[in-house]
Amino acid sequence: MGGIADVAKRAGVSKATASRALTGAGYVSPTTRQKVVSAARELGYVASTSAVSLATGRTRNVGVIMPYVNRWFFAEVLEGIQRSLLERDLDLTLYDAKPGTVGRQRIFDDYLARKRFDGLIAVGLEPADHEIERMHAIDRPVVMIVGDEGTTCTVGIDDDHAVRRATEHLIGLGHTDIAFLGGGGADWAMVDRRRLSGYEAAMAEAGLADRAQHVQSEVTLPGGYAAAADLLGDTRRPTAVVGVCDEVAIGAMIAARRLGIRVPSELSVVGIDDHEFAEMFSLTTLEQIPREQGSAAVDLLLQQIAQPDRPPVDVRLKARLVVRASTAPPDTRA
């Protein structure tokens, strides 16, 4: 079936010439090229990817490894990456590496070593040391989204900046009783720790260090709901909440409504993300655009693939404050 040999024969040229004409590498006279191209089209010729890879050492495929695909941020990033790759005629192989699963182990131990890709994008992976080692061992460029700047390229928002803006926004409105909701527990992500620190720093700088309060919560919408339900059930509750992300913040808003606590008059809520639900909940938040981070990562990766020796770049975006109706000055009638 339709190998390049058939195309060559039909065009009356050699395999070599056919290859040159089709790939665009090397000289071919315009007329010959035309003949080859027509022959290929007539035969419905499509090059075998494995043969091409074997011969060139390039897979025209990018690996994407992430711990979740069902959370807003990750799904958006994935879409951004996919769209970018699609434009460039590149494939995408997905690795779902949930923390603490044997699947993740297999991915790092076996899958990566197979080098089915020219480069790897790791999203919010929080890799352990031996995992980082594996990633470097494969000798392919790596770009991380949400990771620490270091030896590899990195894309992400400035978390410290974002959470400070969030906290300062509340402080600026007059709040002093501001809780930070989200994170904590066993496998607590670095992002979430960073955000907590930023919150604490902002509180301290405003002389509110002793009012700072961290409420643990799973970093999901139901998680935020559950944690907030506990927190707000108490009569001695904060007047404002910073959610570690919008999902948690929205969970808190829903919990507040259930408890009959009015947002924003009785409780102000800020998030970080600008999640697809943020507008519907009128959530004040710090906007990040994961799709753009995805395509930025692709750009960086392709640069690294083209020039492996370039020093690692660090793209650190500033999140923009989007004020909606979930924040207001504290109710002073109390």
Partner DNA sequence: TTGAAAGCGGTACCAC
Partner DNA sequence: GTGGTACCGCTTTCAA
Q: Which residues bind a copy of itself (CB under 8 A)?
A: 46-51, 53-54, 59, 61, 69-70, 72, 75-76, 78-79, 82-83, 86-87, 89, 91-94, 96, 103, 106-107, 110-111, 113-116, 220-222, 225-226, 251, 254, 257, 276-277, 279-280
Shortest Cβ 31–DNA spacing (Å): 7
Nearest to 242 by CA among 179, 305, 285, 327: 179
Q: Residue 105: name its binding partner from DNA, a copy of itself, none (Cβ under 5 to 8 Å by kind).
A: none
**Residues between 56 and 115 with contacts to DNA, criterion CB under 7 A:** 56
CA distance 231 to 282: 21
- Closer to DNA by Cβ: residue 45 or 225: 45
Give dist(CA 179, CA 226) in Å, integer. 15
> Which of DNA, a copy of itself, none sits in contact with 180, Cβ below 5 to 8 A by type?
none
Q: Is 150 in the site for DNA (CB under 7 A)?
A: no
Nearer Cβ to DNA (14/101): 14
Stretch that binds DNA, among 22-30, 103-111, 198-206, 226-234 (CB under 7 A): 22-30
Indicate whether 17 belongs to the interface with DNA (CB under 7 A): yes
Strand partners, 241: 179, 269
Q: Choose the contact partner of 293 out of a copy of itself, DNA, none; CB within 5 to 8 A by kind.
A: none
Beta strands in the chain (DSSP E): 61-66, 91-96, 119-123, 142-145, 153-157, 178-181, 213-215, 240-243, 268-273, 284-287, 314-317, 320-322
Binds 108: which of DNA, a copy of itself, none (CB < 5-8 Å by kind): none
Smallest distance from a copy of itself to CB 192, Å: 20
Identify the CA nearest to 10 among candidates 31, 41, 49: 41
According to CB under 7 A, which one of 34, 38, 48, 216 is a site residue for DNA? 48
Q: Which does 280 bind (CB under 5 to 8 A by kind): a copy of itself, DNA, none?
A: a copy of itself
Residue that has been written with the tokens 């690996």 in this structure: 63
Residue with Cβ nearer a copy of itself (96 or 177): 96
Instruction: Decide: is 19 part of the binding site for DNA (CB under 7 A).
Output: yes
Q: Find the Cα–Cα–Cα–Cα dihedral 153, 156, 159, 162, rounded to 10°.
A: 140
Interaction of residue 5 with DNA, rule CB under 7 A = yes
**Cβ neighbours, 10 Å, residue 288:** 24
In angstroms, give the least distance from the CB of 82 to a copy of itself: 4
Enumerate residues 6+ apart whose C-beta is below 8 A from 296. 155, 315
For residue 99, give every residue at least 6 positions away whose Cβ sits within 8 Å of its Cβ, in sequence order, or none. 67, 126, 187
Considering only 49-57, 130-138, 262-270, 326-334, which stretch makes contact with DNA by CB under 7 A? 49-57
Total residues in contact with DNA, by rule CB under 7 A: 32
What are the counts of helices (DSSP H) followed by strands (DSSP E) for the chain? 12, 12
Angstrom distance (rounded) from CA 254 to CA 128: 35
Interaction of residue 45 with DNA, rule CB under 7 A: yes
Looking only at the bridges linking them, the beta strands covering 284-287 and 320-322 are antiparallel
Binding site for DNA (CB under 7 A): 1-5, 12-17, 19-20, 22-23, 25-29, 31-33, 45-48, 51-52, 54-56
